[in-house]
Amino acid sequence: MYMFIYRFFIVLSCSIVVGTNLSQFICIGRFTAVSFQVLGHMKTILVLILGFIFFGKDGLKWHVILGMVIAIVGMIWYGNASSKSGGKERCNLSMPSKNAQKNAGLPESTESDEKV
């Protein structure tokens, strides 16, 4: 019976890790670097909270709780700021900028080129 329980938790743990890695792979192309870091911090906070819930509150001190609260408030603040128009960096890699299209031919001459 105990071997079944151990195997169940090993399979469950492996499934969670595969799901986490797959979700990170999907998120990499869809979010900015800052948003991806915020998601990573949220994952860390969720792991800590679930660890405290399931395994006891021995390491749960006031400064740990304060750090988690500050991180969650910062994530909410960043989410609100980036959802407003112009609040998020927008980088469209598929369409080149006007300067790149204008300078697609020969490079512009500079003063150092004229002196040579």
Listed by start position, the domains of the chain span 32-82
Residue 39 CA to residue 31 CA, distance in Å, equals 10
pLDDT of residue 81 exceeding 90, the answer is: no
**Cα-Cα end-to-end distance for the chain:** 84
Q: At what angle do helices 62-83 and 33-55 cross, to 10 degrees?
A: 150
Q: What pLDDT is attached to residue 86?
A: 64
Q: What pLDDT is attached to residue 97?
A: 53
pLDDT digits (tens, 9 = 90+) for 45-76: 888 888 888 887 777 788 888 888 898 888 88
Residue 23 CA to residue 29 CA, distance in Å, equals 11
